[in-house]
Amino acid sequence: MSSGPKPITLTTDFGLIDGYAGILKGVILGIAPACRIIDLSHEIKPFDRASAAWLIANSYRYFPAGTIHLVVVDPGVGSLRRSILLKGAEGSFVGPDNGTFSRLLKLIENPTAYELTEAEYWLEDVSNSFHARDIFAPVAAHLAAGVKPLQLARQIDIASLVQLPEPRIIITEDTIEGEIVYVDRFGNLVTNIPADKIQQNASISVAGTQCGTLAESYSGGKDGEPVALLASHGFLEIGINQGSALRFFGGGVGKPVVARFRPGR
């Protein structure tokens, strides 16, 4: 590892049109000039906290330990919701306390939660509508430059953090019932059914439509027909070889998915 500042990743629903993401980087470079900044996504659907929660939970582990992840999908900006920092062995997460970190809480080791309280580490004028620029980016930059959590924040109870409703999952001996939790740009439908809970002989259905058994890869599927596979993020996923499962099923998030295991012999 280089001995410079830790990298910072950015996950927002700001889009790439208006310069908002670029401004965050300007603020960071003003505080930590050598900091590496990586866009994870600025195209989260506006206000879609559940997709942000999914995305960061499935991405953070590919970044160097100590990376700081700014995650701001913030419909409540300017209201009384808290500004928080979640720190674990693998990295730190900065953003509003609105459930975006729900999934992370079950994944990261030794999580500690903090509320951002020390305004001397924020921009001088804090607006009511752009805390990513005025609070979260400066805090992330100071963390990257080596400032300690307790200089920026006070520790709070992990159990006090806002949680998003959990997608439904029921695991029995011969079936798992889950649901679609994320749709990617290819129209692949990502479920909440973990790969390591599925038997290789499982037969899969989405909203009552059979998708056959597990395939090795999308290119193993027949053209135009849905394929189920254990995807790179570690969950069951439904796709269509060179096509869109979202279009095939006429919808995505929330649809029920069932994996049924044939009796072994």
Point out which residues bind its own copies (CB under 8 A): 1-2, 7, 9, 11, 14-23, 25-27, 29-30, 33-34, 36, 38-44, 46-47, 55, 58-59, 62-64, 67, 75-79, 127-130, 133-134, 184-186, 216-220, 229, 231-232, 237, 241-242
> In this structure, are residues 134 and 125 in contact, taking their beta carbons and an 8 Å threshold?
yes
Nearer to its own copies, 76 or 212 (CB): 76
CB of 111 to its own copies, least distance (A): 20
The count of residues in the chain is 265
CB of 129 to its own copies, least distance (A): 5
The two beta strands, 37-41 and 235-240, are: unpaired
**At 238, which helix (H) or strand (E)?**
strand 235-240
How far apart CA 200 and CA 181 sit, in angstroms, is: 22
Encoded tokens for 141: 């930059």
149: left (phi over 0), alpha (psi -120 to 50) or beta: alpha
CB of 205 to its own copies, least distance (A): 21
User: Quick one: how far is CA 93 from the chain centroid?
Assistant: 11
Q: φ and ψ at 248, to 5 degrees?
A: -55, -45
> In this structure, are residues 164 and 49 in contact, taking their beta carbons and an 8 Å threshold?
yes
Nearer to its own copies, 114 or 238 (CB): 238
Nearer to its own copies, 29 or 162 (CB): 29
CB of 233 to its own copies, least distance (A): 8
Nearer to its own copies, 114 or 139 (CB): 139
How far apart CA 144 and CA 134 sit, in angstroms, is: 16
CB of 168 to its own copies, least distance (A): 23
> Helices 137-144 and 20-31 sit at what angle, rounded to 10 degrees?
40
Nearer to its own copies, 174 or 216 (CB): 216
CB of 239 to its own copies, least distance (A): 8
Nearer to its own copies, 21 or 108 (CB): 21
How far apart CA 184 and CA 204 sit, in angstroms, is: 19
Nearer to its own copies, 128 or 200 (CB): 128
CB of 247 to its own copies, least distance (A): 13
Encoded tokens for 203: 């037969």
